[in-house]
Structure 1
Amino acid sequence: MYLKEKIFADELQLIENKKIQGFATYIVNHLPDYFFEVPASSTGKYHSDTCLGSGGLVRHTKAAVMFANSLMNDTENNSGLKSFDFSPIERSKIITALIAHDGWKHGLESSKSKFTTFDHPLVAARKVIELSKDYAEQSECYSLDMIEIGTSIASLIGSHMGRWNTNSRSKEVLPEPNTDAENFVHLCDYLASRSFLDFRFDKNGCSTYRPENFCVQQDIHEEIDAIISAGKAAIERGVSAQLLYDTVYKHSGVRNPKRIKDSKTAQLVKKEIENLVSE
């Protein structure tokens, strides 16, 4: 389990609009675990050395946000370039989009690919819209407004590949950027992916991201106890011990539930055992 919000604490602080900052935090906490582990380039052919290796995709994302923050015009703080003159709410959407633009680069966690999936911009865009609806339901003072914001951010994400929007192995054509904000997000991602540009995060007041520094072990003893209890109940209902062992192994790769290491797997095993009883 990763301390996801903590990993992007610096980037989240750059989001000026508090409503969007809250939504961006919600997105970060729902990014798949693999996002915090994989390199920016699954083949190693692209991106700088800084963004390759374990945790490289997070470092690429941080670099893209660094470019955006440096380039955007902010007259109040006398920073950025006048040619990139966005309003505070537009800047907030742009930062959020860059944080999430590669969030599902290998696809959904349930169907994770070993390599980058061509349609990952659209996968991420759809997830952001989905999360905006969930966030709107949980937030008393937001509703359609939050969904409109999510849709706007999704459009920035969906077109971030720019002219590289076709693939010989896919019939899908990705949208190209049209608005100034969409083109700007593409520019920041493009700059952050150049193999000849290296990044000094410490020069920007940020430490270089290493996954092991933000990974915490979950205490899943209670969930394992729940599996064992569900197994005992299943045996009392006539389910064979062998079938239980096979069920545990199918979803965890181990036959002894006490050897399960993560909460998500433990919950899935428990649910499957409970389903055996109800069948």
Structure 2
Amino acid sequence: MKFSKICIISVCLSTLLCFLGCGSIEPSNEYGVYIGANPEDLEDRDLPSTIVIDAQYYSSEEISSLQVDGHIVYTYLNIGSIENFRDYYSDFEDITLGTYENWEDEQWVDVSQVKWQEFISAKADELMDKGVDGFFVDNCDVYYQYPTEEIFSGVSNILEDLKDKGGYVLINGGDSYVTEYYNRYYSLDAILDGVNQESVYTCIDWDNDSFGVNTDEDREYFSDYLNMVLDDSKDAYVLEYTNDSEVEEEAYNYASKMGYIPYISHSLELK
């Protein structure tokens, strides 16, 4: 999963570890992202009430079991890019737009194309048929990369279709697109129920393969974005990355103070 403006460079939310408490922090029981986990990876774990998985790798029975245990289950859905190792890549290679920075095996997709919109809608139906409660939608940032009216309309068509399916729609990142949509229509009702933003308090330094603390300017930018979402009566989630216990506590306390639902990871890997 990726987004557009963190520590000046594009960053991918790949996968996450469950939040571990430190210092005065208690582990969050509200929210966790387990996109890289197979069903067996989640066995015997104390999972939060809302979890994000990649339901493509789960059966309807496995999803139902999670729900019986009291979990709300959202599934990852990538609407704006495609990896070249996907078995359907050749079907859409002709509508790719360019390489995803830092992810050489991934291409941005022209979401204005009807065949891509139909593919995403069918994929969403397939996942809904498994019983998921909604979608964790990634790479609306295709509009940040290609800010044309056609791409804006394509993203809007996809999100409106997802909302019509009846599940919860949680957008990962997407600040440029969501802000533009809100400025045009003064409401986000038609496209989403919540926004997840990565690295509001923290940041990722890809050049040095390390975690850090965001600049005040970047933090303020993303906080303004999430506050806009909250002001429209939508939910605001944050995902932070750090292996520093003091920064972890600061990030958690900042999210709590701002009214965001936090999930803090010590790693980009989820096992």
- Of Structure 1 and Structure 2, the greater helix share is in 1
Q: RCO greater where, 1 or 2, for CA within 8 Å and sep 6 or more?
A: 2
- Of Structure 1 and Structure 2, the greater strand share is in 2
TM-score between both structures, scaled by the size of structure 2: 0.30
